[in-house]
Chain A
Amino acid sequence: MPLRPRPFVAAALAVLIGFAAPALEAKTLRWGAAREIASLDPYSFGETFTLSVLNHVYEGLVRYTGDLKIEPALAERWENPTPTTWRFHLRRGVTFHNGDAFTADDVVASLARVSHPSSPLRGNLPAYRSATKVDDFTVDIEVAEPYPLLLNDLTNIFILGQKWMAANNALLPTDSGTGVEGYATTHANGTGPFKVDSRRPDAQTVFSRNERWWDKPAHNIDRIEFTPITSAATRVAALLSGEIDFTNVAPLQDLPRLSAAPGVKVLQTNELRTVFFAFNMRDALVESDVRNANPFRDPRVRNALYRAVDANAVQRRVMRGLSRTTGSLVAPAIPGYVPALDERPSFDAEAARKLLAEAGYPNGFSFLMNCTNDSLVNEEELCQAVASMWSRIGLRPVLNIGPRSQQTPKRVKGEFDVIPFGWANEPQIDAYSLLLQVMRTRNAAGGVFNWGSWGDARIDTLIDRAGTELDPAKRIPLMTEALTLAKQDTLFIPVHQQPMAWATRQAVRSIVQASDNKPRLWLTVLD
């Protein structure tokens, strides 16, 4: 019998293969993180990492691109009818994971929830006053005064479904003060590229691809298995043994070993967080042999300390050659940065000694350095190295090192003479964050982290003007000017931008690593 083609069977096979192939090749990314997310509720704990993970499930009106530019997300466009009103035109045809359609009601309900007095994220919308629905796809947001950074703030405010919240009694945020729990803590319903399939806290949270996502996916991931692995050595071992494909926290001391391992790739760059030393600028030092005076108030003394720091040695020895030495208080990616800020005075211990003598301290003086051992990268080693550099010009720093949870309350109370300080300018990704929260003299709105009473009236004026200037072409130079004044006065001693490292296995073909250190897996391609 002659062989005849069998069109039916061939077609059936083709269909079978066509359907079966993607199922067989379900692309899974196993992600080993350094810690567990606090909750599935994006308004329950003001932690950058938790929010960055939840951003795969929930989205804001706007979002950051892979190179940290703001782009439309749930809002398609916006305008300012008045300087204090922002009108957002929402994207049509977006659905939540449970099938509900996305409308203006969801935006209004979410903003009401996040700005509720018991919401820990309320501070993320400092200028927010109210939100009103104009029609189903238009929302007006009122701010207290002309405020340039609303879009930056909104990247971090994720939108929850109004119907879903109402049905599950979750219209209000959780409240640990009065013991109010919430459905959204353990359930999620967003609009984002991934939905939550299952969650076992401290063990595994599984995300799967949202087939109905409004955006054209740049990723090809079907499933993400998120596992926190707290112990760094175990995380490295899990990557080496192939039990995870990706970690967003690769320990710096293990980078050479990871790079040498077959099938493992290390991605290393510098993060936004800039580390600098800050001074106690009150009337007297906290712990010193100089009484009734504060040597740090003299710019020559601050300058002496600056010039005594051998930044290259710090970079090579303490940071294993991985940090970016800087003279600026903000990283290059932050609006407000200009290259001139990055210049450092040359390292010169002799000149430093002379400056100290000129200021009346030829024999140096003692002071208290408050450092932690768990917040900045290699902070303990950094403090020890810099303290010994300062000892070489005759100063007598007294090191006090402890965990962050213990040291922070002391810092808040001003019980220090010198501290290393790290600021990433997140979530705004704008120098205004540093200027307002750290550098400004304390007032109702700012200076929360002005722990040492530093500051300068000229700088305050510039900050306040930048805070209400809507035109970026005018606003950014104002911030640069403020940063330049701080530099001229040596208000702080900039050291470096911290290194950050991720590691992946072969399964990951490409991944976007932005300097805000947030994984954006909707931009990741697997092999």
Chain B
Amino acid sequence: MLVFIVKRVLNAAGVMLAVAALAFATFRFVGDPVEMMLNEQASLSQRQELRERLGLDRSLPAQYAAFVVNAAQGDFGISYRNQQDVFPLIVERFPATFELVIVATVLSLLIGLPLGVYTAIHRRSAFAQLLQWVSVLGVSLPSFAVGILFILVFSVSLGWLPAFGRGQVVQLGWWSTGFLTKSGLTALILPGITLSQCQITLVMRLVRAEMLEVMRTDFVRFARARGLPERAVRFRHALRNCLMPVITVTGLQVGNLIAFALVTETVFQWPGMGLLFVQAVSFVDIPVMAAYLMVVSAVFVAVNMLVDLTYGLVDPRLRQDAVTGGGHGK
């Protein structure tokens, strides 16, 4: 187990170095931060001076090396735009993004799992067909369009839910949470659904496909032959065997959701990391962009690792002590 973790951590370091290298290769194309930081009146020499002080006159490999050395010591530099240490800036916004992603993930499981089971079991019913059709719509509609549509319906026309922001948040140490106030919870609804939209479809289609597969296998037939009630066959035997890929995908998607929450965050002015990144891009705030990419890739790597570890818990075959574990329906 220890070897496995050490290997994974080394792997992660390699991935992050590569991400940083790619990031620095692209920063050259996003523009010149000096033009953004100084206003119209600054003279040419003042511009050049600032460029030198920021180290932007150095070659790309030199800038990259300096970043890696500093980042290894936990120093990501200071945001050009906010003039604040980058790491706290991102950490401060992490709870907002994370809570949104958790809500979206839970919603996708709560809605996607039952729908998937339903469409698999009653796959010829008209309602299941309709769900299938709607789900195609779900993956093909871009989330910013859905978000705006939700805002128009639920905020402007009906006036039920807020159009933007996180509502009242409660500070628990460094973590700010919206789960503890009414306005915080209502503010989570629209962005949560918007972010989970694709995810619901994904879970539903995955569960459906897996269920159809498993329902055809021998052990389900034998379970039926043993006279087990249909409910037990479906949920205890079939569904449980479907959960592996669902966990894998949901887990991997958490990383994705964190990374792609930026669209939802921009639409709903959700004060998370994605919004910070989008603004950093438009102001060529290189330290923030670099640190954000590092954080997101770290999350990806960590989630991958967690998923691998969870496999062991769900699938007895992967446990070393599986021999004593026992079979289905224990």
Contact = CB atoms under 8 A, between A and B. Distances in A.
Interface of A: 35-36, 38-39, 41, 44-48, 117-118, 120-124, 126, 153, 174-182, 185-186, 200-204, 227-231, 233-234, 237-238, 240-243, 374, 403-406, 408-409, 412, 423, 426-428, 433, 437, 442, 444-446, 448-449
Interface string B283-316: 1100100000000000000000000000000000
A131 B134 CA distance: 70
Contact of A122 (B40, B46, B53, B85): B46
A177 B54 contact: yes
Interface string B47-70: 101100111000000000000000
Interface in B52-96: 53-55, 75, 77-85, 89, 92-93
B163 A234 contact: yes
Contacts of A47: 39
B83 A444 contact: no
A444 B35 contact: no
A25 B40 CA distance: 43
Interface stretch (B154-162, B221-229, B244-252): B154-162
A200 B92 CA distance: 10
Size bracket of the B interface: 35 or more
Given A45-B80, A122-B42, 20 more contacts: A35-B279, A36-B279, A41-B83, A46-B38, A47-B39, A120-B37, A179-B77, A181-B83, A200-B271, A233-B148, A234-B164, A234-B269, A241-B159, A243-B163, A404-B31, A405-B30, A406-B30, A409-B32, A445-B43, A448-B43
Nearest to A38: B81
A237 B156 contact: yes
Contact of B279 (A181, A230, A408, A433): A230
B195 interface: no
B79 A238 contact: no
A179 B75 contact: yes
B140 interface: no
Nearest to B78: A176
A153 B169 CA distance: 41
Contact of A230 (B32, B35, B266): B266
B278 interface: yes
B38 A123 contact: yes
B53 A39 contact: no
25 contacts: A39-B81, A45-B80, A120-B37, A120-B38, A175-B78, A176-B54, A176-B77, A179-B77, A185-B84, A186-B84, A202-B271, A202-B275, A227-B164, A233-B151, A233-B267, A234-B163, A234-B164, A234-B267, A234-B269, A237-B152, A238-B164, A405-B282, A409-B35, A426-B40, A448-B43
Nearest to A51: B39
